Structure 1
C-alpha cells in the first residue's frame, strides 16, 4: 500500500526528463490497484505545482494511461473524469506554443489509439480550446488593468459605460439543455450502451459535490483566511507567518476542490448529453415501433376481412359433397372402344 504522503513526495521529485516520468509511471503501474487514490493526489499536486512543472504531470498521466490500456484499464477509467479540467488548467497556465502542441498531440494519440471514445476525445479537445481562450482572456485583462509602467490603471467612467453596453449586447448564454440540444443537432452521438449509461450514473453518485469530508474542512476554515480586514489584528511576524501558511493551505484545498467540481460539472454535462441522446434514440425507436404496429394492424384487418369472405364462401358451399349427383367417370374400355 502506498500512502498519500509517499505520493506527494514522489510528485515533488518529478521533472520533465524521460527517466523521471517513466520511473514514476512504473511506480504507479505497480500500485494500480490504488488508481483512484493516485489520480486524486495527481490532481491535487497538479494545481499546486509550479507552471514549468505542470506539463510533467500530463507526461506521467499519458505514460500511465497508455500502459494501463493493456493491463486492465483502471487508470484509463479513473483519469477520464479529471482530464478535461486538468488539460484546461495546464494550457491556461502555460504560455508556450510548443507545450500547447504537445498537449494537443497527446489528445490526438489517445484518439488514434482508441484509448478513449470519440465523444471523450471531443470533450478533451474542447477543454484544450477553453484553456487557450482562458489564457488569452487573462492576458488581455492584465494588459487592460496595467499601463506602460506596469502600474494598474484607474477606472475610467466612460470606458466602464462602454463596457457595460458591450455586456448588454453580449449574446444570451444558453442553458445546459439548450447547449445539449444544439450539440446533438450538430454532432449526433451513437446510441449509448445501457450498461455504460448506468455505470456513468452510478459514478456520479460519488461525486465531489457530495464529498462531505472536504466540505467540512472548508467550512471549518477560520474566518481570518477570507476576511482581509482582520489582518490589522496581527500582533507580530510569527502570527503573520502562521496565517500565511494557513491561507496557502486553504488556497490549495479550495483550488483542488474547485478542479474536482469543474470535472464533475463536465462529467454531468457529458452524462446529460448521453442521456439526451439515449432519450432521442428511444423516441426514434418508439416512432419506428408505432409505425410498425400500425402497419401490422392494417395487415391484421386485411386478414380478418379475407377470413370473413372465406367463411362466407364456405357457408354457401354444399354441406355434403357425397350427396351431389355427378356423372360416373368413363372406364378405360369406354375410352378405347371405337
Structure 2
C-alpha cells in the first residue's frame, strides 16, 4: 500500500468518484494511515470546500465509510471529524437544493445516531446545520428540485451504490462476518446483490511505511559490522597492546610511555567499535520487528484483495 503524504491524499481525493469501489478503496487507504488522522481531516475539509457541489455528497460518503469501518480500531477519525462536520454539513446544505440529496444526508445522520457514531448532541447539531440551510433556501423562494436520474447523470448502478454507502446493512438476507471483512448478500427485485466492506485487522501499532523500512535498512548498510576500515585497523593493532608477555621486553620509560599511548589508542578504538556494535544489535532487532509487522500487514492486505476479487467474480456470475 502506497505511503502517505499530503500531495498523495489530495490527488486521491481529486480522483474520488461516486462508485462504491472508489470510496471503499480510499477509505481502506485512510484507515491504514490513521496515524495521520489530523492531516487527513484537515486536507479532507480543504478539498471538500473546493469541490463542486455535485461531488460534495461523495466526500460525505467517504467520511461515513471511514468512521464506520475504523471505530473498532480507535476513535481518532470520529474525534477529528466531529468538530468539522457541522460546518461541512452547513456548507453542504447551502449548496444542495434537491430532495434526493437532502434525504440521503438525513439518512446518514439517522445511521450515525442509531449506531452511536456520534453522541445525540452532535447529531442534533449536524441536523440543525442542515435544516437551517434548507429552511433558509426554501424561505427565499428556492423550492427543492426533483431531479431525475437522467438529469443527474446517474446510472442504476450508482443509485444502488449510493444506498449501500449510506447503510450497507439494509435489506440484508445473509451476512457473514470475519475479523477481516464483512460480506452482505441480499435479494432485491429478484436479483442477488453482494456488498463487501473491507476492515483489515492491522496491528495495534501501525505497520511501518515502505519509506521508513527502506531508511532503516539503509542505516544498517553503514553499521559497525560493515565498516571495513575500522575492522582493518583492529586487525592491524600491534601485538604488544594485547600480549602481556611482551611487557618484559620494555627496558626504559620511553618504551613504556610509547606502549601506554598505543594501548590507550587501541582501547578508544575498541570501545567506540563495541558501542557501535551494541547499537547495531538494537537496530537489527528493531528492523526485524519492522519487517515482521510490514510482512504481516502485506499478507493481510493480500488476503483482503483476494477476498474482494472473489466477491467481484461472484457478482459477475450473479449479474
- TM-score class, shorter: 0.3 to 0.5
Q: TM-score, normalization: structure 2?
A: 0.42
Query: Hey, which of these two has a bigger chunk of strand by percent?
Result: 2
Higher helix share: 1
* TM-score, normalisation: structure 1: 0.40
Tell which structure's C-alpha radius of gyration is larger: 1
